[in-house]
Amino acid sequence: MISVNADEPPTYVWHLPRGFPTPLVPADNPMSVAKVALGKRLFFDSRLSLTSTYSCASCHDPARAFTDARALAVGATGQVLNRNAMALVNVAYNVSYGWSNVKVKTLEAQMHQPLFNVHPLEMGLAGREASVVKILSADTDYIDAFRASFPDEPSISIANMIRAIACYERTLISGNSPFDRYVFNGEHDAINDSAKRGMKLFYSSRLGCANCHAGFNFTGTAVYDGHTVAAAAFARNGVGSQSMRVPTLRNIALTAPYMHDGRYKNLDAVITHYETATTTTKADKKLRKFKLTSDERQALLAFLESLTDDEFIRTNRVQ
């Protein structure tokens, strides 16, 4: 498990749910226990923002599977973004980051957006890099944590701050929902009969949900150790005319409101949308036209709710 060669950093041990592949990690940012702990602290540190009141967690609240309950996210100075804050669930496996950006391929690269964006401003770090480094360097806990995380680089830097937060994000792995216990652990009673009927509907050709929300992360495609893909799965699901990345549905019951613009308040409204999504402009061919009975609708909702991983929420709760 832990390597004994003193010249090599100890191997990081992933604690992965059954059926989950090992995440692919950039060569210049290997995982370590020290970096994950440091990244977690930084993720919740509001001193990184212009106003000292905003952290990553202000828009990515662990209790809501790292979303913010808003239709559109709001930055540190009150500016409204044009997008709904995404859940941070199994992001280690994403092929690209963001609702519609195909070019952002790593968590390290993604972070430039919230940290440095100006129009609209999210955390407002641009132009304040030196003063944030100064703040962190005045904190002895951070000095120790950066040293333990980056033993070859004595001074604190924004680049290493980003590396540490990315390491923490890669540990946000959710795969112990009732659905997982039913499917991967063979626990027959982990989900009730209604959820089982809903699962059949979800995977049926009549509804076609899994035409897009496929695979262990419901994202269509995923990247992991030994397996890379050129592009994430994008589709037009009838919400706007632009293709969007197919989002995960894990912990979906916790992340309302829904879609890239937060237009739907609850999952019931999402289902209603899909019943007629084929009639929308430029609708994707993978969409199906269907009408659910009220029992079927309850069943599909029960299935979506069975994707909530209480352990994930509990272990990531802010202490």
Taking phi over 0 as left and psi of -120 to 50 as alpha, with beta for the rest, 108 belongs to alpha
Encoded one letter per residue, x for contact with ligand HEC by CB under 6 A and - for no contact, window 22-61 reads --------------------------------x-x-xxx-
Closest distance between ligand HEC and the C-beta of residue 254, in Å? 10
CA-angle at 201, arms to 200 and 202, nearest 5°? 90
Encoded one letter per residue, x for contact with ligand HEC by CB under 6 A and - for no contact, window 87-126 reads -x--x--x--xxx-------x--xx--xx------xx---
Neighbours of 281 (CB within 10 A): 8
Among 40, 128, 260, 297, which residue interacts with ligand HEC (rule: CB under 6 A)?
260
Residue 16: name the closest of 306, 195, 191, 217 by CA: 217
Among 64, 83, 105, 147, which residue interacts with ligand HEC (rule: CB under 6 A)?
83
Alpha carbon 42 to chain centroid distance? 17
Report how far residue 83's alpha carbon sits from residue 22's, in angstroms, rounded to the nearest whole number.
Answer: 30
The residue range among 25-33, 83-91, 130-138, 148-156 that interacts with ligand HEC, by the rule CB under 6 A, is: 83-91
Total chain residues near ligand HEC (CB under 6 A)? 51
Burial of residue 8 (CB within 10 Å: 0-12, 13-18, 19+) is exposed
Alpha carbon 43 to chain centroid distance? 14
Q: 9 vs 139, which CB is nearer to ligand HEC?
A: 139
Q: 136 vs 267, which CB is nearer to ligand HEC?
A: 267
Residue 299 binding ligand HEC, by CB under 6 A? no
Residue 165 binding ligand HEC, by CB under 6 A? yes
Q: 190 vs 301, which CB is nearer to ligand HEC?
A: 301
Q: Under a CB-based contact definition with an 8 Å cutoff, are residues 80 and 241 in contact?
A: no
Position 148, amino acid: A
Closest distance between ligand HEC and the C-beta of residue 91, in Å? 5
Q: Which residues contact 61 (CB under 8 A, 6 or more apart)?
A: 67, 68, 69
Residue 197 binding ligand HEC, by CB under 6 A? no
Among 174, 255, 306, 308, which residue interacts with ligand HEC (rule: CB under 6 A)?
255
Closest distance between ligand HEC and the C-beta of residue 75, in Å? 4
Q: Under a CB-based contact definition with an 8 Å cutoff, are residues 100 and 106 in contact?
A: no
Among 222, 259, 301, 307, which residue interacts with ligand HEC (rule: CB under 6 A)?
259
Residue 183: name the closest of 171, 172, 175, 194 by CA: 175
- Residue 268 to residues 87, 254, 255, 271, 304, Cα–Cα distance (Å): 19, 14, 13, 5, 11
Binding site for ligand HEC (CB under 6 A): 54, 56, 58-60, 73, 75, 81, 83, 85-86, 88, 91, 94, 97-99, 107, 110-111, 114-115, 122-123, 165, 169, 207-209, 211-213, 235, 237, 239-240, 244, 246-247, 249, 252, 255, 258-260, 267, 270, 274, 284, 286-287
